[in-house]
Amino acid sequence: MLVLSLPAQTIAMPDLTLEQRALAGDRAAWEQLVAQHSHRVVVALLARGLRIDRAREFAQAAWARLFERQQAGELSRLELPGLAITTAHRLALDDARRPSHTDELDPELPDPLPSAEARLVSAQELRSAQTALSQCPPRAQQIFRAAYAREERPHGELANEFGISVQRVRQTLTEVRARLRAAIEGDAHV
């Protein structure tokens, strides 16, 4: 579970959306938004080829960055999960550009886009990934969701649960991740 160190502040604003309450500094609203959207941020990073541990790390860093920006008065809107996905992707790209982490992310990825365009692209990427996942065979969808639902589960555990070999679990996950990457990158050759 993702944990942010936020000051204890809950603001009574019943007529505002979660995003509006979070922008006003409501800690409970931030926690709800993180809980609601974190999985999508991690899945978007997985689709870009990051390992699960790195995807979670960048997702958490993105939420912390967004909270810091809100506290500094730099955010006027929260369009989620797109803004969180874009922020996490930028953090991952920045980290990948460091010489010691060149194997973490595909070096062919484009540089980050301007923020408004990036938010739109992130939302489109998420929809593309969700569509691609829904087009996978039902069994592959089940295995992928079971593998990444909360914590990454060992392949052996998944193999036992689904009654298949560990190699088949690995192959299925590789195929699904490839489809997600292809959908996000706009490659029709899946």
pLDDT recorded at residue 129 = 83
Alpha helices (H) along 10-49: 18-23, 27-47
Residue type (1 letter), 168: R
Calculate mean pLDDT across residues 136-160.
87
pLDDT above 50 (res 163): yes
Contact present, 105 and 92 (Cβ < 8 Å): yes
Calculate mean pLDDT across residues 117-130.
71
Local confidence band at 169 (pLDDT 50, 70, 90 cut-offs) = very high
Residue 160 and residue 156: Cα distance in Å, rounded? 6
**pLDDT digit string (tens) for 49-75?**
888 888 889 999 999 999 888 888 888
The DSSP 8-state label assigned to residue 105 in this structure reads S
Contact present, 138 and 8 (Cβ < 8 Å): no
The DSSP 8-state label assigned to residue 49 in this structure reads T
Calculate mean pLDDT across residues 145-151.
79
How much of the chain, in percent, has pLDDT values that exceed 90?
Answer: 25
**pLDDT digit string (tens) for 77-114?**
888 888 999 899 889 888 888 775 444 455 555 544 44
pLDDT recorded at residue 188 = 44
> Average per-residue pLDDT in the chain?
79
Query: Which of 116, 105, 94, 91 has its CA nearest to residue 181?
Result: 105
**pLDDT digit string (tens) for 16-27?**
888 999 989 899
Calculate mean pLDDT across residues 105-124.
55
